[in-house]
Chain A
Amino acid sequence: MVLELKVNGERYELDAPVGRTLAETLRDDLGLTGTKIACAEGHCGACTVLLGGVPVYSCITLLHTVGEREVTTIEGLRDHPLVDAFVKADALQCGFCTPGQIVAASALVEDNPHPSSEEIRHAMAGNLCRCGTYPKIEEAIATWQD
């Protein structure tokens, strides 16, 4: 199936089989390996990308459902102040979930630049981190504009 995909401001034309996920396409067809796959079934959030500004799990988003919506991956957010905020707060350990965390957090602060602790916890509860960097993630998001 031939389709067009908008990712991080670029247009791509792709020929992908029906059933291919957005995460597979990003990583294997476009080489955008910043998006990680940790569970591949929509349980952990490591594959989070923005679809029209809304965070989604790209591992369970079928490519053919994306349509005209702009896809934003961590590669499109490398200059976002959250990246520095995460590094400064030490909000990453092994780092495998981190791109997904930052993408999810970017949607939160876009809507709500000064989220409360409660709001951060609510918005980020769909992004698991096995290393347990949560306190520092909360700190990074709370201080992202500093």
Chain B
Amino acid sequence: MARLIRTEKEVEGRYEDVWLVVDEDALDQWPPGPQEIVGRPATRVTGPLRARGEARYTADLRLPGMLHTAVLRCPHAYARVRKIDFERALVAPGVRAAIGPGDAHVLTAEPGFQGEAVAAVAADTYAQARAALELVDVEWDVREPLIDPDEAVRRGQLVSEASRYERGDVDRALAEADVVVEAEYRTQTVLHNSFETHQSICEWRGNSLDIYISTQFIWGVRDEVASQLGLPPDKVRVVCEFMGGGFGSKNGADDHTFIAAELARRTQRPVRCALDRREENLATGNRNATIQRLTAGARSDGTLVALAGEYVNATGWSGWSAPTDGPMKVLYDCENVRTVLSPAKVNTPPMKAFRAPGFVEGTFGLECLLDELAARLEIDPLELRRRNYAQSTDDRPFSSKNLMECYERADPHWQRRDEVRARSEGPWKRGVGLASQVWYGGGGPPSYAWVRVGSDGRATVVTAMQDIGTGTATAMTQIAAEELGLPLDRVELVLGDSARGPYASVSAGSSTTPSMGPAVRSAAADAARQIVEIAAQRYDKEERILSLQGGKIVSADGGSWPIEEVVDLLEDAQILGKGARGPNPAGMQVLTFGVQVAEVAVDVETGEIRVERVTAIHDVGRVINPLGASSQVEGGIIQGIGHTLSEDRLLDPSSGAVLTPTLDAYKLPTIADVPEIVTELLDIPDEHLTNLGSKGLGEPPIVPTAAAIANAIRDATGADVRSLPITREEMLRALREAAERKQEKRGAAATV
């Protein structure tokens, strides 16, 4: 039965209270541990299509009569279009239309960052569109850009109000603390670099708009476009069957979709607008740089008495303020916490969510600070974390938290450090570091699924979700197969089309599995119940003694019949089950936890750093597919290693020009940079969360990696690295600083 409830919705740390209609079947969670299919390794259901090059991505679609687009993007960090003239462009070969500021809301005459869209040309071929772009005559007034985020904060130039948080009395606690450490940490701007660039094809059919798009949120694109263009939402159809990575950058419709829609309207042809790699690295978002000025106070026994942080997010020309202060608020049991978070508005490309936005950056600062504190207190860093274990924060209990168990399991890896350090030789110093992880990942309603069972005894899950490469399609198939008692190869999943399936959640905030999984299970249970009802009548048994197992209907009193025998009675009819995601547990924080232990080698003469081993232990509730889950963990850690050591979007500090838009300049990790990775997932269902007890896993593994590596470097060398990426320059700076500190200490001792 449909119920109207008031519930909290969380996406990447932002909570809102919403009214919600839910239509949920109450199902008991499966017992902990592997079931027949759920909890056991499964290869990806879409693996063969993707590996054989048969998967059709948006990039591979070619519609009849389709035009191609080139977008004129501002070459300056801050400018005004004094004059724009399309006369020469419009008569160039193949050109069908051109649009500029005022023709679509995403085209501006007052660009505030390099790469902001100003105009666009549609032509028969992409080469023609690019060539015509050169013929658009633009006169720019180039303005003085503001690049420095601290200066923007001083001037009060923010994208939104600074957020302030305080519990307890930080100043008093710091005054009474036995030890106080202060440090400034910086993190860099990181680019998503999804391999399939942002792109859409738009086609008007009458007054309906079809959008083929590489997206993380089919339904979000539908609603955003409908709202912007004044269309009823059902007049907008959004399709994304396969997509080549998003990492947070593809949650919206973005400029390319609105450009394609407008050009398609004008030309009455399907129009494709696809960014190239350089545009991708200017105009599709980034993990914004941060500055973190942090303070921790503790008693000499290690009890944390105060944490304070002044955070600046270099948000860019627009965007939202990622919760860089989030870990400080929830990771430790500390009575006195104060944070100020200022989102600086600067003339750089706007941020977008990037795999645990805010928490990756904030965990680097906080977990490095904890190790600096541990060194001052001469307390083991793992022990310091155990002593300040949080049972709840802000009086909101956690729906489940097994971080202490993660610490227990980390202990043997942590104990390797004497042996690791002993392997130092010559200039190569070795060490071990760890960092804790906290992040969201509970998902939430609304999310819906349908399950169809045909007379051949095969089931199809239908839902208009997207699989962005995380393997959620496989997890959904496993869940449905488990509930229907069918082997995995008799269950299919149809996704990726808003016109052909019910509403599904965004694939962001580690939410697809915890949001969609319970809906799929609920739909499968609905279908299973109907099959049992029919079987009970066919075989004259009571429903309560029948169940579906291994492709059979099994009676508790002995008999069993192949499921086909029952569904075959349907002939061409089908069993239709429907399911919805229920609400999250009221008043609780649903969070994921974990710890990573990194082992590094540092050449103290050259500053070269090698990560040799990373152990990742995470608590994300029930694990649906251990194979896919291990891939998520590895992927997160490898991206984390890139963030820590090599990736950096560099700007010319005077002009604001982006210097690294290409993949030779912007250094992604390669296969040769990968350390040994050891993954352990606790696999303890969250008893308060849904009919599955599963949380999300997409983001947690990237959260602690940078801090664990930085702490290992500290362990190896005694140097406090505080700025990402830890280039050789930063490494050598930190080594010099450590040497000077040692010298001073010795000097001081000599004076005494």
Residues 29-73 of chain A, each 1 if its beta carbon lies under 8 Å from chain B, else 0: 000111111111101101000000000000000000000000001
> Which B residues are CB-close (under 8 A) to A27?
60
> Which A residues are CB-close (under 8 A) to B636?
132
- Asked if A96 contacts B195 (CB within 8 A), the reply is yes
Task: Provide the bound-state CA to CA distance between A39 and B244, in Å.
Answer: 13
- Residue from B662, B671, B677 with most neighbouring chain A CB atoms (10 Å): B671
Residues 651-686 of chain B, each 1 if its beta carbon lies under 8 Å from chain A, else 0: 000000000001110001111101001000000000
Report the tally of A-B residue pairs with Cβ distances under 8 A. Answer: 157
Residues 618-630 of chain B, each 1 if its beta carbon lies under 8 Å from chain A, else 0: 0000000001101
Residues 277 to 328 of chain B near chain A (Cβ within 8 Å):
277
> Which A residues are CB-close (under 8 A) to B669?
132, 134
A107 in the interface, Cβ–Cβ < 8 Å?
no
A7 in the interface, Cβ–Cβ < 8 Å?
no
Q: Which residue of A lies closest to B665 (CB)?
A: A43
Interface residues on B, range: 35 or more
Contact of B242 among A74, A78, A95, A122 (CB under 8 A): A95
Task: Provide the bound-state CA to CA distance between A94 and B276, in Å.
Answer: 18
- Asked if A132 contacts B637 (CB within 8 A), the reply is yes
B109 in the interface, Cβ–Cβ < 8 Å?
no
> Which A residues are CB-close (under 8 A) to B471?
90, 93
Known: A36-B244, A39-B277, A96-B196. A86 touches B53 (CB 8 A): no
Residues 461-477 of chain B, each 1 if its beta carbon lies under 8 Å from chain A, else 0: 00000001111000000
A109 in the interface, Cβ–Cβ < 8 Å?
no
Q: Which stretch (B4-12, B44-52, B157-165, B422-430) binds chain A?
A: B44-52
Task: Provide the bound-state CA to CA distance between A8 and B466, in Å.
Answer: 32
Contact of A131 among B44, B54, B469 (CB under 8 A): B469
Q: How far is the CB of A14 from chain B (nearest CB, A)?
A: 15
Task: Provide the bound-state CA to CA distance between A41 and B265, in Å.
Answer: 32
Task: Provide the bound-state CA to CA distance between A62 and B630, in Å.
Answer: 40
Contact of A90 among B247, B627, B672 (CB under 8 A): B627
- Asked if B53 contacts A74 (CB within 8 A), the reply is yes
B: residues with CB less than 8 A from A are 43-44, 46-48, 50-57, 59-60, 62, 192-197, 242-245, 247, 276-277, 468-471, 627-628, 630-631, 634-639, 662-664, 668-672, 674, 677
**New contact pairs (6) apart from A39-B662, A90-B47, A132-B674, CB-CB < 8 Å:** A35-B53, A41-B663, A74-B53, A94-B50, A94-B245, A132-B637
18 of the cross-chain contacts (CB-CB < 8 Å) are A33-B53, A43-B277, A44-B195, A46-B195, A75-B52, A88-B43, A90-B628, A93-B470, A94-B468, A94-B469, A121-B672, A132-B638, A132-B674, A133-B635, A134-B634, A134-B638, A136-B634, A137-B671
Interface pairs A-B: 10 shortest CB-CB:
A34-B53, A94-B469, A95-B50, A96-B244, A132-B638, A132-B635, A43-B663, A74-B53, A87-B47, A33-B60
